[in-house]
Each structure stands twice: as structure tokens, then as C-alpha cells.
Structure 1
Amino acid sequence: MSATNQLRADHDQVRRLEKIVAKCADEIYKGTEIPFLDLEKITVVISEFVDTIHHSREEDSYFPCVASYDNLKEEIRKFMIEHEFGRNIARKISEYLKKWKSGQDAREPVARYLRTYSIFLFDHLNKENKFFDDAEANVLSKEEETEMYEQYRSVIAIVKKVEQMIAEIDWLETRPWYMK
């Protein structure tokens, strides 16, 4: 496997999360009771998988390697801005979820920010997948791809955390509100 393929595999899992987030927002708008545990798991997967693991792989390794060739720098800059935008949305989800959990009526802002996050993910993943195609075809060597992939796999704690986050996504896909 290559670094680009690892990031694409991450995207496959994030795409599953995007569908869960969109469905959750829709169900909240319909008045469906979503357990706080489920909502908290969504925020954990966003924080620990999308941001801490996946975006970190891109920001700390992949993007710098691609940019070192003086290629695609403008696209990388835009992705970095989008990552920060996603973090801001995720913070809002958590903020309003805490308010809702403490008894305030924050259903609507939670649903709104979940919906916004799902739209963000859909758009962002599509653009990054095109970027990966370009970087893989025109910039990165096979050796660089292999080295970055080995770097990703070398941190066993991260590998185990990814497995745990995929299990959380699996679990969320079995929830009654999602299966409606």
C-alpha cells in the first residue's frame, strides 16, 4: 500500500462518518430522539479520527512532501484552511451538545452544525481525492509513497486507534435512528 492509498482508505471511513452525521442531523430535525451517547461517539470519531489521525497524516507528512516539489501549494493552503474550518464546526457541535445535555434546548444548533459538517466532509473529500490523484500521478515517487506509508504504520498506537474508530463507525451504523 502507498501513503496516498492509506489516505484514500481513511477517506472511505470518513465517507461512512459523513453519511452517519448527515442522517443524524436529519433525524434530529424530524424530532427523533438520538441518545447522547451516540452523539458523543460521533464527536469522538470526528475529533480522534478525522482531526487527530487523518488530518494529522495529511498536514504533518503528506502535504509537506508534496509541497517540497513546489507543486500544488495553493491547493494545500486551501486544504489547511478547510481543515481549520472543519475543526471550528466540530467545536460548535461539541459546544451545543454540552448545552443540550445540560438541559438547554440546543437540538436545532446541534442538528445545524452536524448538517454543516456533513456538507463540509462531502465537499472536502471530493476535492482531496482529486488532489491525491494528481499528487500520485505527477509528484510523488513510489519510494516516497512507501516511506510515508511505513511512517503511518510505524506508530502502533495510531493503528490501534484507527481500528477503534472504525469499530465506533460500525457501531453507529447499527443504531436504530441510523437504520430508519
Structure 2
Amino acid sequence: MSATETLREDHLKIKRLEKIIEKCYLDLYAGKEIPLSDIEKITFVISEFLDSIHYSREEDSYFACVASYDALKDEIRKFMIEHEFSRRIAKNISKYLQQWKAGNDAREPVARFLRTYFIYLHDHLKKEEEFFSKAQSKVLSAEEEKEMYEQFQSVMAVSTKIQTIMDQIQYLEEQEWYRIP
């Protein structure tokens, strides 16, 4: 396995979350009830997986390695900006969710920011897949791929965290609101 393959596997997990987010915001706009605790789980996965693990792998290792060759720097800069945009959207989801939990009707802003996050993810993942292909074929050596992969795997807490996150995604996928068309 390589670092690029690991990041692509992350994307498969993220696409599962993307489907959950889409169903959630569509149901919220349709006036359907979704437990606030499930929306909290969505925000947990966003912050713990996308931000703490996936973006960290990209920003701290992968992008740094690719950029060290003076390659694809413009794309990397754009991804860093997009990651920050993602963090801001996630903060707004959390902010309005807390207001909703406190008794204020924040259904619309929660739905709106979930929709924004869905659109962001859909676009961002496509662009990153193209970037990974370029980096893998034109910049990174097999040795560098292996070294980054080993670095990704060296943090044992990450594998435990990923399992917890995958359990959360599976839980959400099994909820009635998600399964009902």
C-alpha cells in the first residue's frame, strides 16, 4: 500500500459520509425529523476524520512532500484554502446545531451549512483525486509513497480513531431516517 492509496481509501470513507450529509440536509429541508444526536455524530465525523486525520495526512505529509519538488504548488495552495473553508463550514454547522439544541429553531442554517459542506466535499474530492494521480505518476517515488504510508500507520491512536469513526458512519447508515427514501 502507498500513501496515495491510503488517501484514496480515506476518500471512499468520506464519500459514505457525503451521502449521509446529503440525505440529512434534504430531509431537513423537507421538514422531516432527524435526531439532533445524529447530526452531532455527523459533525463529530467531520471534525475527527476529515480535519484531524485526513487533512492532517495531506497537509503535514503528502502536500509537503509533493511541494518539496517544487511541483503542483498552486494546486496545494488551493487545497489548503479549501481545507480552511471546510473547517469554517463545520464550525457553522456546530454553532447552529448548538443553538438548535438550546431550543432555538436553527433547522434552516443547519440544513444550509450541511448542504454547503456536501457541495464542497463533492467538488473537493474530485479535484483531489486528479491531484493524487498527477502526484503519483509525475512527482512521488515508490520509496516516498512507502515512507509516507508508514508514517500514516505509525500513529496507533489513528487506527483506533478511524475504527470509532467508521462505527459512527455505519451507525448513521443504519438509522431509519437515512434508509427511508
Q: Deviations over 1:30-74 (max 9, x none)?
A: 111111110100000000000010000000000000000000000
Q: Counterpart of 1:2?
A: 2
Q: Per-residue deviation at 1:25? A: 0.2
**2:18 counterpart letter in structure 1:** E
How far residue 79 of structure 1 moved from its aligned partner, in angstroms, is 0.1
Ranges in structure 1 where 5+ consecutive residues have no aligned partner = none
* Cα distance per residue 1:1-52 (max 9 Å; x no partner): 0000000000000011011001100001111111111010000000000001
How far residue 149 of structure 1 moved from its aligned partner, in angstroms, is: 0.3
Relative to the length of structure 1, the TM-score reads 0.99
How far, CA to CA, are the matches of 1:178 and 1:115 in structure 2?
16
Q: In structure 2, what is the Cα distance between the partners aligned to 1:19 and 1:55?
A: 19
Q: CA deviation at 1:164?
A: 1.0
Q: In 2, distance between residues paired with 1:118 and 1:168?
A: 18
SS state at 1:105 partner: coil
- Displacement after TM superposition at 1:166 (Å): 1.0
How far, CA to CA, are the matches of 1:134 and 1:103 in structure 2? 49
- Tell me by how many angstroms 1:121 deviates: 0.3
Please show how residues 23-34 of structure 1 align to structure 2 within 5 Å: 23-34=23-34
Matched, 1:116 2:124: no
Partner of 1:38: 38
Q: Show the counterpart of 2:79.
A: 79
Give the 5 Å matches for 1:36-75. 36-75=36-75
How far residue 163 of structure 1 moved from its aligned partner, in angstroms, is: 1.2
Q: Which residue does 2:105 correspond to in 1?
A: 105
Structure 2 Cα separation of the partners of residues 171 and 130 of structure 1: 31
User: How many angstroms apart in 2 are the aligned matches of 1:170 and 1:118?
Assistant: 18
Q: Which amino acid aligns with 2:75?
A: E
- 1:108-135 CA-partner distances (Å, limit 9, x unpaired): 0000000000000000000000000000
Q: In the alignment, what sits opposite 1:160?
A: 160
Q: What one-letter code is carried by the residue in structure 2 that aligns with 1:35? A: P
Report the AA paired with residue 3 of structure 2.
A
Which residue identity lines up with residue 150 of structure 1 in the other structure? E
**Post-superposition offset of 1:155:** 0.5
**SS of structure 1 residue aligned to 2:110:** helix
User: TM-score, normalised on structure 2?
Assistant: 0.99
- Deviation for aligned residue 1:159: 1.1
Instruction: Name 2:21's counterpart in structure 1.
Output: 21
Q: Mean alpha-carbon deviation: is it higher for 160-169 or for 78-87?
A: 160-169
Q: 2:21 corresponds to which letter in structure 1? A: V
Q: Distance in 2 between matches of 1:51 and 1:14?
A: 11
Match of 1:11 in 2: 11
Number of aligned residue pairs: give it: 180
Instruction: Quote the Cα distance in structure 1 between the aligned partners of 2:2 and 2:167.
Output: 23
The secondary structure found in structure 2 opposite 1:33 is coil
Deviating beyond 4 angstroms after TM superposition, the runs of 4 or more aligned structure 1 residues are none
